[in-house]
Homo-oligomer: A and B are copies of this chain.
Amino acid sequence: MYIKTKRNIGEEEKNEILKFISANRLGNIIKEEKDYYRIGIIGNTSNVDLDILLSFAGVDEIVPIGKSYKFVSREFQPQDSVIDIKGRKIGGGNFLMMAGPCAIENRESIFKIAKAVKDSGAQVLRGGAFKPRTSPYDFQGLGEDGLKYMREAADKYDLLVVTEVMDSNDIPLIEKYADIFQVGARNMQNFSLLKALGKSNKPVLLKRGLSATIREFLMAAEYIVAYGNENVILCERGIRTFETMTRNTVDINAIPLIKEKSHLPIIIDASHGTGRRTLVQPVTMAGIIAGADGAMVEVHENPECACSDGMQSLHFDEFDRLMKNIDKLLVFRKEIV
């Protein structure tokens, strides 16, 4: 639930409310409207007499939130969240393209890829340094070396860095190099990790779990927000179904439905979502026209030789073509009524 304050209240009245909340060992999340605040109350309120708040000078109303996902819902915040990452924005009409290799393979390669994706117009460099691999015998990533290479390449070409974090113990290390933490599909309900990322102040790109319902997906985002970090970017990357001709099944319905239910930005990852190079462009464009605020695409200088996921990585020229199409599409999208 949240408190709707009276209009034009002063700092003192606001602080009185916040003091009450923290005195009851609850958390808060504040949204400033034109002339009032919505103050979300985070935590278990079952033993707290909230009605006392109604006697406070600044309180207008206590509003319940009907959804199980509360502070990520449009019931709590009707307008789109806009997340600002070092000046680049996503959400509320701002589009962000993330591109790069599945895994960082070596210094030279990541520099080449960074240059190529920058030249084509991407804003964020993606790449895995710690790879979640089904087999313990597969390449597990370069670790910190990979992070260093990616940071240097990103800095040279003025790109942001997004990379996966698999363990809360790795947060301090990754935080040194990355601008956005990525939580992979397999960890979407790794609640320890979500809680730890809630305490960070860097944005989190949360990928939908292979068999996560939309409700569970929003609940996972709610964890991060409830623990203190409102900067969550959702990512539809395909779900697991019976279909075997594609790696996953992109749930295109999820994009407009999540935009309807939540104020958080959402991106489309058609590389993992399809697992087939030829499908990356049409499905990315489908995701964007359906409302996605960004996209993530795997790009590699030589996909045929890539350590992992080569079959779904775009060549540089394919990515360049995709970006040209997306540029036009973003203009077109504004004309849709």
Contacts and interface: CB of A to CB of B under 8 A. Distances in A.
Interface of A: 43-44, 68, 70, 132-137, 166-170, 186-187, 189-193, 195, 210-211, 213-216, 219, 222-223, 226-227, 238-246, 249-257, 260, 273-274, 276, 278-279, 282-283, 285-287, 289-291, 321, 324-325, 328-329, 332, 335-337
15 contacts: A68-B135, A132-B191, A133-B191, A134-B189, A187-B189, A238-B253, A239-B241, A241-B249, A243-B254, A249-B251, A249-B253, A253-B274, A253-B283, A285-B289, A328-B332
Quickly give the copy total for this chain: 4
Contacts of A249: 239, 241, 249, 251, 253
B328 A222 contact: no
Contacts of A215: 245
A211 B210 contact: yes
Contacts of A289: 282, 285-286, 289, 329
Given A136-B223, A211-B211, A253-B276, 11 more contacts: A43-B137, A70-B137, A134-B216, A210-B211, A239-B249, A256-B278, A256-B282, A256-B283, A286-B286, A328-B332, A328-B336
Given A44-B137, A132-B191, A244-B213, A279 B250 contact: no
A279 B259 CA distance: 10
Nearest to A336: B325
Given A335-B328, A336-B285, A213 B169 contact: no
Given A190-B186, A242-B211, A244-B213, A279 B256 contact: yes
A164 to B, nearest CB: 11
A334 to B, nearest CB: 11
Contact of A244 (B167, B244, B290): B244
Interface centre among A166, A252, A335 (most CB of B within 10 A): A252
B251 A279 contact: no
B250 A253 contact: yes
B189 A132 contact: yes
Contacts of A329: 289, 332
